[in-house]
Amino acid sequence: MTFHLALVLLLIAICLGAAGQVLIKWGLTQLGQSPSPGVVVASLFRSAYVAGGFGCYALSSILYLLAVSKLPLSYAYPMVALSYVLVTVATWRVLNESLPALRIAGLVVVMLGVLVVALSYRGDSPRDALPSQTVQTQASGQPGR
């Protein structure tokens, strides 16, 4: 898998995770003002929105695993902060939540941080062997690195 494909999978995973958040919230708002914990849990089986949100999370997790298997975690994980921006904008548009200026300023800071991380990629490669490779080498009686 190429870097670009892994990055596309990561971005799709982030979007699916954000969609999952919004779908779950949308489904929970249909339960009334103060639903009991039992009603909230049951909504997973009774609300298409809540179930769909969890489905988005499941697919997001699978795509994230594929992306992280090829990208440095120190690069990929900060990118997940984009979900903060996506969820906030989506809830403003879809659920009519307020979006005050100070929150917008915070989201701009998050986006700038993600941009800095995105621009930092230079074909990173691990400095040392993966821990599992080191353990296998030591278990076989051969000296570790």
The span from the CA of 117 to the CA of 79, in Å, is 7
Residue 8 maps to a domain? yes
Residue 144 maps to a domain? no
Residue 145 maps to a domain? no
Looking at residue 131, what is its pLDDT? 52
Looking at residue 136, what is its pLDDT? 53
Looking at residue 39, what is its pLDDT? 87
Residue 40 maps to a domain? yes
Looking at residue 130, what is its pLDDT? 47
Q: Which amino acid is located at 69 in the chain?
A: S
- Residue positions counted in the chain: 145
Residue 82 maps to a domain? yes
Q: By the 8 A CB rule, do 102 and 110 touch? A: no
Tens digit of pLDDT for each residue in 32-67?
Answer: 888 888 888 888 889 999 999 999 999 999 999 999
Looking at residue 32, what is its pLDDT? 81
Rg over CA atoms, the chain: 20
Looking at residue 144, what is its pLDDT? 52
Instruction: Return the biggest CA–CA distance within the chain.
Output: 64
The span from the CA of 30 to the CA of 13, in Å, is 26
Total domains, the chain: 1
Q: How far is CA 32 from CA 27, 35, 42, 60, 133, in A?
A: 10, 6, 14, 28, 53
Residue 114 maps to a domain? yes
Domain span including residue 46: 3-139
Residue 23 maps to a domain? yes
Which uninterrupted H or E stretch holds 6? helix 3-29
The span from the CA of 69 to the CA of 1, in Å, is 9
Q: Which amino acid is located at 56 in the chain?
A: C
Q: Which residues of the chain have pLDDT under 50?
A: 128-130, 134, 145
